[in-house]
Amino acid sequence: MGDTIKIKSTSKNSAIGSDILLRTTTTTRLLFKPEIVNNPHNKNASVRGTFIFQKKGRNNSWEDYKNLDLTKLKASEWVQIELKSEEMFKLISELDKYYKIFERYGIRSGETEFLITSQNIQRIIEQLLNNKESLNKLIAQGGSSILSEIIRWLSGLGDAKLILEKLKDVKADDLEKLNTMININSNFGIYKI
């Protein structure tokens, strides 16, 4: 369906994201550590990061390889980091997700997990939510299991802020009706077989 990106705030103006693995062998790997930032000078320039080259250590854990301070290079010294076309494509594609997350959600306090879906899935979900007849047909065809799966999925998100943000447009009367239905069903002992 999609992949997830975890973002953890480091201040009210910055948050670190999941490492983007660009290249890996049995003993080395190259990754990019993205960071989302509130850039007061250019809101569109909201992502920065660091390339990290790692080697496998004695206990099979990845360790950063030789910290090189580029500000201490002499006039005749230089560093070259080549990215293959697939690596460049992956980096740009992944960073695009971070730009979209910042544009839509900004920087959230704490740790947040975002589910990245394809445009087709996002479009289908929006169409279902905007067309009650199609949503009713889907629930009728899939039975109550679809609704229970959605509720299980929501409860498993773990981010109460995100759930509350999504539910803010639901009217109090609708929530009360749902609560009444749940209480009636639980009192009558209706169970899924």
Distance CA 155, CA 191 (A): 19
pLDDT digits (tens, 9 = 90+) for 31-73: 999 999 999 999 999 999 999 988 888 888 888 776 777 788 8
pLDDT attached to residue 130: 73
pLDDT cut 70: percent of the chain above it:
63
Q: Give the start-to-end residue ranges of the domains of the chain.
A: 2-117, 119-187
Total number of residues shown for the chain: 193
pLDDT band, residue 188 (cuts 50/70/90)? very low
What's the pTM value of the predicted model, to 2 decimals? 0.61
pLDDT digits (tens, 9 = 90+) for 128-144: 667 777 767 776 776 55
What DSSP character marks residue 17?
E
* DSSP per-residue codes, 6-43: EEEEEETTEEEE--EEEEE-SSEEEEEEEEEE--SS-T
